[in-house]
Amino acid sequence: MKKILFRTTIAATAFVVFGFFSTPGTAQDINWDSVEGKQITLLYPGQGSWEWALTKSTHSGAAKFRQGKKCNECHEGEEQDIGNLIVSGEKLEPQPIERKRGFIQVNVKVAHDGENFHMRLEWTEQGINGFPAMDPDYETKVTVMFDDGTVAEAKRAGCWGTCHDDATGMASSSGSELKKYLSKSRVKNTRTGGGTNYKTDTEIAALAAAGTFLEFWQAKLNHSQAPVAVDGHILKSRDENETPAITVTSQFQHGTWVVVFSRPLEVPGDYRKAIVPGKTYSFGIAIHEAYAAKRFHHVSFEHTFVLDRGDADLVAKSR
Ligand code: HEC
């Protein structure tokens, strides 16, 4: 009896110290030490929407952005300064949150095992106590959004292609609850966004069939609890799948999160992007830290990954 108790204690201690959790069916372990990572900086975006970025009177880069330049071509390396400016409330953020940080540095690694694609994200948490409980259920949420080259705005602006001025909490939000969407799902788009000028269901279905949507993966996190995995797509709105195809492992140790998303390279059914060699995938990362919700998150500009070979920020090799 005593022996069993002792064992239980050890196991429980190990659990708390290492705090390693996974959702069921997680793919095999990758030797991540052998994979080179890339440091990606996420910034606090405030109300800097897609339409804001396109407007000359609000954004100095608008003209060139309209001509085809990518956000990152002008802003790579400026994430910390931009994030610090916005989080202070000096620009684009009418409701600054005290003590919130302006940027988060995330180490990103990708790999595959012939069947599954894996993305590993590691970042150090800012203490989460004392921040407004916008989402009281989860301390932190981390999300990856990606496209396979079909959606032009994802290539040039990552997450910004889905972030509109009339979404909830944004500058032109008129009380209606709009989530993320792609402009192509609307009949008309203006400086304030596309509102509820939806295209017909038939038109939306045709867009989806042509791959005009972004896929997203999310891990909802609490210290010492298993992560909750969610995935879905963005076209007419942000829609979650009933059953996620992704699995997630998470670990929180010494103030640092390590989260690994795994997904079969190909998933049957609608609204899934096949991950195949020879394509360039654009992706963005978002972290809702310290019970944050909606726009009060940190986001990356656009980055790229490829499978096996090609020119991209990250190359997923077989491990
Ligand atoms: C052609 C270059 C260029 C492109 C492309 C560009 N920007 Fe900018 N952006 C600028 C310039 C210039 C400023 C003003 C900086 C300043 O005044 O110091 C700016 C300012 C900003 C700011 C406010 C921070 C500040 O310092 O004023 C944000 C946020 C921002 N850009 C986001 C974006 C996003 C998001 C995209 C892509 C959707 C983008 N930018 C594309 C050049 C660019």
Q: State both tokens at 166.
A: 């009339």
User: Which of the four pLDDT bands, split at 50, 70 and 90, describes residue 221?
Assistant: very high
The b-or-e profile of 33-65 (16+ CB within 10 A means b, else e) is eebeeeebbbbbbbbbbbbbbbeeeeeeeeeeb
Say yes or no: CB of residue 69 within 6 Å of ligand 1: yes
Q: In the chain, what percentage of residues exceed pLDDT 90?
A: 89
CA–CA gap between residue 280 and residue 1 (Å, rounded) = 58
Say yes or no: CB of residue 157 within 6 Å of ligand 1: yes
Compute the average pLDDT of residues 194-213.
97
Q: What is the mean pLDDT of residues 218-224?
A: 96
Does residue 282 register a pLDDT over 80?
A: yes
For residue 192, give the amino acid letter. T
The answer on pLDDT for 7 being more than 60 is no
156: confidence class by pLDDT, cuts 50, 70, 90: very high
Instruction: Look at 18-22, 170-174, 231-235, 277-281 and tell me which has the smallest mean pLDDT.
Output: 18-22
Query: Of 205, 271, 285, whose CA–CA distance to 241 is shortest?
Result: 271
User: Which residue owns the Cα nearest ligand 1 atom 42?
Assistant: 61
Q: Which residue has the higher pLDDT, 90 or 9?
A: 90
- Which residue carries 């916008």 as its tokens? 134
Distance, CA 209 to ligand 1 centroid (Å)? 33
Task: Fill in the amino acid letter for 208.
Answer: A
Chain centre to alpha carbon of residue 200: 28
Which residue do the tokens 């180490």 mark? 107
Comparing 318 with 175, the larger pLDDT belongs to 318
Angstrom CA distances, 221 to 61, 83, 138, 141, stand at 36, 23, 6, 6
Rounded distance between C-alpha atoms, residue 277 and residue 261, angstroms: 19
Indicate which atom in ligand 1 lies nearest the CA of residue 69: 5
* Ligand 1 pocket residue status of 74, Cβ below 6 Å: yes
The model's pLDDT over 30-87, given as tens digits with 9 standing for 90+, comes to 999 999 999 999 999 999 999 999 999 999 999 999 999 999 999 999 999 999 999 9
Q: Which of 108, 177, 190, 193 is CA-nearest to residue 146?
A: 108
**What's phi and psi for 31, nearest 5 deg?**
-80, 85
Query: What is the C-alpha to C-alpha distance for residues 309 and 180, in angstroms, rounded to an integer?
Result: 32
Please report, for residues 140, 227, 259, the alpha-carbon distance to residue 252 in angstroms, rounded to integers and kept in the order given. Answer: 11, 11, 9
Residue to substitute in 51, 67, 73, 75 for testing ligand 1 pocket (most ligand atoms within 8 angstroms of CB):
75
85-114 pLDDT tens trace: 999 999 999 999 999 999 999 999 999 999
> What ligand 1 atom has the least distance to the C-alpha of 43?
29
- The candidate with the shortest Cα–Cα distance to 294, out of 129, 164, 169, 158, is 169
Residue 104 C-alpha from the chain's centroid: 13
- Residue 179 C-alpha to ligand 1 middle, in angstroms? 23
CA-nearest residue for atom 24, ligand 1, is: 82
Please, how many CA atoms are within 13 Å of residue 178, restricted to the half-sphere of its CB? 28
The string over 241-262, giving b where at least 16 C-beta atoms fall within 10 Å of a residue's C-beta and e elsewhere, is beebbbbbbbbbeeeebbbbbb
Nearest protein Cα to ligand 1, atom 16:
60
